[in-house]
Amino acid sequence: MILVTGGAGFIGSNFVLDWLACSDEPVLNVDKLTYAGNLANLAAVAQDPRHVFVQADICDQAAMQRLLAQHAPRAIVHFAAESHVDRSIHGPAAFIDTNVNGTFSLLEAVRTYHAGLSGTARDTFRFLHVSTDEVYGSLAAHEPPFTERSPYAPNSPYSASKAASDHLVRAYHHTYGLPTLTTSCSNNYGPFQFPEKLIPLVIANALDGKPLPLYGDGSNVRDWLYVGDHCAALRRILEAGRPGETYNIGGWNEKTNLDVVHTVCDILDAALPAPSSRRELVTFVADRPGHDRRYAIDARKIERELGWKPAESFDTGIRRTVQWYLDHQDWVADVRSGAYQHWVRQNYGARGAAGGAA
């Protein structure tokens, strides 16, 4: 069995579903079920005996110790995190609690568990920590992409909290011999993504004929990674990654936010023609504080050492994604609850547009 933290969230639930589609090995799925954790994401495996779900908080070290002792997983894949930059600006405390203190509590529980293992079980155990390219800071247009040796320079409370968790994981490997693996991924997109993030937000707003607010001039650049490709990379790293190493996972798809929004609009216009192009809904709003200009990932290490590279281009991945949201509008309606609408008004109302931005 493997243990997955945050397995009801966007990337975590995709990982669980893909894992069970590719393997008969059971998954112990531990999630606190905050606003972004959604059991509806896991409906396809709700009756699958290989999927064991437990609602628990990684900050609860005693609870994690009990689960480790009870289920004896051979590996842990650690997704659980607060992950939205805008929310971290409004309320950084939750990000410190979950991303820093929670990772620390989990590491302490795992350290005790690992120390009690012996033989093959001890030698093959792995702790896979899923992080982000945002820990590296912002790139200028002319600078090369981030490598695993890029210095850390986080610029938001979110990325600073993830950087802190990365350093804790590194320290537990070097100090205690915990066999850790760390990944830094670029912007994910695909099914089950909460609609505060750019692509699902644009799809939902565009279908409703609402404004598509973009921070600044829309020229901020991100590298885009289809979530299924990310999950495949994580499986490969868990299988063959070297303990103590970091692996960057990217899609080789640098796009401006405006380009991404225009692409989504064009796909929707072709699928569901409207009286006018949905590009006309784009509205530029005041930028958020400390907005990083560009992220880009150099993913040659994982390709060279582990033979992984993304299967989806941005063109194929974004078409699959838009179609998924068109086919699952009930899911979107359910997650765009009153609490979500309150958040949208809180974050974006004062910027001159309600409905989200990127």
Residue 286: per-residue pLDDT:
87
Average pLDDT, the chain: 93
Model pLDDT for residues 344-357, shown as the tens digit of each residue: 555 545 544 444 44
Phi and psi at 297, nearest 5°, equal: -110, 130
Residue segments in the chain with a per-residue pLDDT below the cut of 50: 340, 343, 348, 351-358
Contact 260, 203 (CB under 8 A): no
Q: Could you tell me which of 192, 189, 342, 159 has the C-alpha nearest to residue 251?
A: 189
Residue 333: per-residue pLDDT:
87
Can you tell me the distance from the alpha carbon of 238 to that of 128, in angstroms, rounded to the nearest whole number?
Answer: 7
Phi and psi at 165, nearest 5°, equal: -65, -40
Please report, for the chain, the start and end positions of each structural domain, with discontinuous segments joined by +.
Answer: 2-192+226-251+296-312
Residue 355: per-residue pLDDT:
42
User: Annotated catalytic residue: which of 113, 158, 172, 295?
Assistant: 158
Whether 280 is catalytic is no
Model pLDDT for residues 210-230, shown as the tens digit of each residue: 999 899 999 999 999 999 999
Neighbours of 71 (CB within 10 A): 15
Outline where the chain has alpha helix (H).
10-22, 61-71, 85-90, 93-95, 103-115, 119-124, 157-176, 198-208, 227-240, 257-271, 300-306, 314-327, 329-335, 338-348
Whether 166 is catalytic is no
Residue 34: per-residue pLDDT:
87
- For 104, half-sphere exposure in the C-beta direction (CA atoms, 13 angstrom radius) is 10
Query: Has domain 2-192+226-251+296-312 been given CATH number 3.20.20.70?
Result: no
Phi and psi at 147, nearest 5°, equal: -110, 175
User: Annotated catalytic residue: which of 134, 166, 298, 312?
Assistant: 134
Model pLDDT for residues 253-268, shown as the tens digit of each residue: 999 999 999 999 999 9
User: Annotated catalytic residue: which of 31, 133, 166, 254?
Assistant: 133
Residue 347: per-residue pLDDT:
52
